[in-house]
Amino acid sequence: MNKGVFRFALLVAGATFLLIIAGALVTSHDAGLATADWPLTDGHFLPKVTIFGITTSGVNMVGNLFWEHGHRMIATTVGFLTILLVIFLFVREKRRWVRRLGVAALIGVVLQGLLGGLTVKLMLPLAVSSAHATLAQLFFCTTVALAVFTSRSWQQQRSTIEESPGISLRYLCATAAALILVQLVVGATLRHSATWDKPLPTPLLLTHIAGAIIVTVVLGSAAVKVLRRHKGERFLTRPATVALSLLVLQLMLGVGAYLVRSASPNDPQPLKPMVAITVAHVACGALVFATTIVLTLRCFKVLRPRESKEFVEALA
Amino acid sequence: MLKQMKVWLVLTVVLSLLAVAASCSKAPTNETTETNTSTAGETYQSKGDEGTVSGVIAFTGAAPAPKKIDASADAVCGQRNPNLSTEDTVVADGKLANVFVYVKDGTTADGKKITAINFPVPTDAAALDQNGCQYKPHVMGLMANQKIRITNSDPTQHNVHPTPKVNPEWNQTQANGAPPIEKTFSRAEVLIPVKCNQHPWMKAYVGVLKHPMFAVSGADGTFTIAKVPPGKYTIAAWHEKGGAAGTEKTMEVTVPANGAGKADFSFGDAATTSTTPGLKMMPAIEFPMLGRH
Q: In degrees rounded to 5, what are phi and psi of residue B4?
A: -60, -40
Helices A65-92 and A96-121, axial angle in degrees (round to 10): 160
Count Cβ atoms below 10 Å from residue A314 Cβ, excluding itself. 9
Q: Is the alpha carbon torsion for B144, B241, B174, B82 positive or negative?
A: positive
Count Cβ atoms below 10 Å from residue B4 Cβ, excluding itself. 8
Gap between the Cα atoms of A191 and A189, Å rounded: 5
Q: Give contacts of B74 with chain A, Cβ < 8 Å.
A: 62-63
Question: What one-character-per-residue DSSP string does B63-114 give?
Answer: PPPPPBP--TTSHHHHHH-TT-B--SS-EETTEE-S-EEEEEEEEETTS-BG
Gap between the Cα atoms of A13 and A32, Å rounded: 23
Q: Which of B21, B88, B277 sits opposite A265 (nearest CB)?
A: B277
Q: Reduced to 3 states, what is the DSSP secondary structure of residue A166?
A: coil
- Nearest-Cα distance to chain A for B252, in Å, is 32
| Residue pairs spanning A and B at CB distance below 8 A | 135
Beta carbons of B159 and A35 less than 8 Å apart: yes
Per the prediction, chain A carries an average pLDDT of: 94
Gap between the Cα atoms of B160 and A33, Å rounded: 10
> Looking at residue A269, what is its pLDDT?
85
- Nearest-CA neighbor of B108 among B41, B57, B190? B41
Count the residues in chain A. Answer: 316
Q: Tens place of pLDDT for every residue, chain A, 316 residues? A: 678 999 999 999 999 999 999 999 999 999 999 999 999 998 999 999 888 888 888 998 999 999 999 999 999 999 999 999 999 999 999 999 999 999 999 999 999 999 999 999 999 999 999 999 999 999 999 999 999 999 999 999 888 899 988 899 999 999 999 999 999 999 999 999 988 888 899 999 999 999 999 999 999 999 999 999 999 899 999 999 999 999 999 999 999 999 999 887 778 888 899 999 999 999 999 999 999 999 999 999 999 988 766 665 666 5
Q: Give contacts of A31 with chain B, Cβ < 8 Å.
A: 197-198, 200
Beta carbons of A114 and B14 less than 8 Å apart: yes
Q: Is A209's Cβ below 8 Å from some Cβ in B?
A: no
- Nearest-CA neighbor of A134 among A190, A217, A79? A190
Q: Is B11's Cβ below 8 Å from some Cβ in A?
A: no
> Looking at residue A166, what is its pLDDT?
86
> For residue B123, what are the CA distances in angstroms to A162, B145, B168, B226, B272?
83, 10, 22, 18, 38
Beta carbons of B24 and A118 less than 8 Å apart: yes
Q: What is the ipTM of this complex?
A: 0.84
Q: Is B2's Cβ below 8 Å from some Cβ in A?
A: no
**Contact map slice: B 128-157 vs A, CB within 8 A:** 156-157
Please, which residues have CB within 8 angstroms of residue B12's CB and are 6 or more apart in sequence? none
Contact criterion met (CB below 8 Å) for A264 and A2: no
Q: What is the pTM of this model?
A: 0.85
Contact criterion met (CB below 8 Å) for B225 and B54: yes
> For residue A225, what are the CA distances in angstroms to A174, A292, A306, B244?
14, 14, 16, 47
Long-range contacts, stretch A78-85, CB < 8 angstroms, 24+ apart: A78/A12, A78/A15, A78/A16, A78/A19, A78/A109, A79/A109, A79/A110, A79/A113, A81/A8, A81/A11, A81/A12, A81/A15, A82/A12, A82/A106, A82/A109, A82/A143, A84/A8, A85/A8, A85/A9, A85/A12, A85/A143, A85/A146
Biggest CA–CA distance in chain A, Å, is 86
Beta carbons of B199 and A63 less than 8 Å apart: yes
**Contact map slice: A 213-252 vs B, CB within 8 A:** none
- Nearest-CA neighbor of A147 among A75, A89, A227? A89
